[in-house]
Structure 1
Amino acid sequence: MRLSPVQKLKNISAKDFLHIYMKPAKPVILKDFVDPESPAFTKWNYEYFKEIAGEYKVNIYGSEIESLDRVASKPIGQSTFSKYLDLITSSPTEHRLFLFNLLSIKPELKNDLYYNDVTKGKIIKWLPFMFFGGKGSITRNHVDIDMSHVFITQFQGIKRIWLFPWEQSDLMYKLPYNFHSLANIKEPDYKEFPGLKYLDGYEAVINPGETLYIPSGWWHYIQYETEGYSVSVRALPSSFLEKWRGFKNLVLIRHFDNIMRNLFKEKWFSFKVRKAKRKANRAIKRQKSFQI
């Protein structure tokens, strides 16, 4: 597995961003996608969040290793938002909040964000999401089901994100009819999953104020180096193929997978594992033929 650092930029024009990064689908870290003068950088903190929304119930998510047969893992419990924030600031924990939309609960918070929109109006500013996690928590290697472009801005703490293009899906043992990989890329077992040796991706470390651009259809594995939180906004897929994949994933594939899992249970998962490994073996052969 080879990982190259993601480039960090500031003051890029919309024309250059669209031409150099968005159109060719290349990740980049933007240091000023959210304007440094945004009130969020001085106003937001855990005590403020507890004051305005501490009593809200939140679903807590843990390790996803046990949920490989599911499109999305199930929450492991509930807590008040305030108690959850106390948890992640007191000790390392794998517990995290997934798609917790504080910005919908308190829509006035959206006014605290000023965007330098290098997409020329493509980002969906009215639909941001927040992600919270404790030190050491992870989000499994996956592609976003709707195939959108994602801009994820760190506000507190540090995140490490590994990125791989869609074309390498077979090498990372993508489970059929799902949107995550069978193999654990954080602790790769090259004997069990030899395709991982041929992966060629990027590593991004994002600090407060920095925004990682994840192109449509790119795989991403996320690790919280410290406790922290981020805000993501999306831009709809650009090409017809990406739009079709997003529509198919949302409307057809995830429901088909749920039906088959309910009908055939472990047999359905075993079938998907075998198919993922067959496709990976074919991809490995192609890689070896390129190297001859």
Structure 2
Amino acid sequence: MKLSAVQKVKEITSRDFLINYMKPCRPLILENFVDKESPAFKKWNYEYFKKTAGKTKVSIYGGELESIDRAASKPIGETTFSEYLDLITSTPTEHRLFLFNLLSIKPEMKDDILYNDVTKGKILKWLPFMFFGGEGSITRNHIDIDMSHVFITQFQGIKRIWLFPWEQSDLMYKLPYNFHSLTNIKNPDYKEYPALRYLNGYEAVIKPGETLYIPSGWWHYIQYETEGYSVSIRALPSSWLEKWRGFKNLVVTRHFDNIMRNIFGDKWFNYKVKKAHRKAQRAIAKIKV
């Protein structure tokens, strides 16, 4: 597996970004995608969040390797948002929040973020998502089901993100009819998963104020180097192929997989594992030709 550093820029024109990064789907770290004068950088902190929504019940998620057969892992517990923030600031923990969006609970907080929009209006400013995690927590290697372009801005802490293009899905042992990888790429077992040796991706380390652009359909494996939180916004897929993939994933693929899993159980999962290995072997053979 080979990882190259993602390029970082302080300033970039919309024309340069759209032509040289968004259209060809190349990742980039933007240092000024969110305006540094945004109220969020002055107002937001854990104490502010506790006062804002500290009593809200949240579901806690842990490691995901044990639920590799599912599109999403199940929560391991429930607590208040305030208690969760106390946890991640007091000790390293793999616990993270999934599908808890403070910005939907307190929509007025969306106005605290001012964007320097290099996409010329493609980003969906009205649909931000917020993510929290403890030091050492991870989000397993996956592609986003809707195939959107994603802009992740770090506000607290440091994240390390590995990125791989859609074209390397077979080398990744992508589970058929799912949107995540069969393997643990952090500690790869090259004997069991030899195709991982041929991966050629990128590594991005983002700090507060920095934004990582993840192109449509790209794999991303997110690691919390420290506790922290980030905000992501999306831009709809650009090409008709990406739009079709996103539509098919949302409307057809995930529902088909759920039906087959309910009917056949482990047999369906084992079939998908075997198919992922076959496709990986074919991908290796193509590289060696």
**What pairs with 1:155-166 in structure 2 (closer than 5 Å)?**
155-166=155-166
Separation in structure 2 between the aligned mates of residue 57 and residue 157 of structure 1, nearest angstrom: 23
Separation in structure 1 between the aligned mates of residue 141 and residue 157 of structure 2, nearest angstrom: 20
Output the aligned Cα RMSD.
Answer: 0.5
Deviations 1:133-163 (A, max 9, x none): 0000000000000000000000000000000
Counterpart secondary structure, 1:172:
coil
Q: Aligned letter for 2:102?
A: L
Q: Aligned letter for 1:47?
A: E
Counterpart secondary structure, 2:3:
strand
Counterpart secondary structure, 1:155:
strand
Map of 1:85 onto structure 2? 85
Separation in structure 2 between the aligned mates of residue 220 and residue 258 of structure 1, nearest angstrom: 23
Deviation of 1:54 after TM superposition, in Å, equals 0.2
Deviation of 1:11 after TM superposition, in Å, equals 1.5
Map of 2:230 onto structure 1? 230
- Identity fraction in percent: 80
Map of 2:153 onto structure 1? 153
**What pairs with 1:18-57 in structure 2 (closer than 5 Å)?**
18-57=18-57
Separation in structure 2 between the aligned mates of residue 235 and residue 215 of structure 1, nearest angstrom: 9
Q: Runs of 4+ in structure 1 displaced over 3 angstroms?
A: none
Unaligned residue ranges in structure 2 (runs of 5+) = none
Counterpart secondary structure, 1:267:
helix
Deviation of 1:99 after TM superposition, in Å, equals 2.8
Provide the aligned length of Structure 1 versus Structure 2: 289
Q: Aligned letter for 2:77?
A: G
Separation in structure 2 between the aligned mates of residue 165 and residue 11 of structure 1, nearest angstrom: 25
Deviates more, 1:38-47 or 1:97-106: 97-106
Unaligned residue ranges in structure 1 (runs of 5+) = none
1:260 aligns with 2:239: no
Deviation of 1:72 after TM superposition, in Å, equals 1.3
Deviations 1:221-277 (A, max 9, x none): 000000000000000000001000001101111111111111111111000000000
Map of 1:110 onto structure 2? 110
Map of 1:197 onto structure 2? 197
Counterpart secondary structure, 2:255:
helix
Map of 1:220 onto structure 2? 220
Separation in structure 1 between the aligned mates of residue 72 and residue 118 of structure 2, nearest angstrom: 31
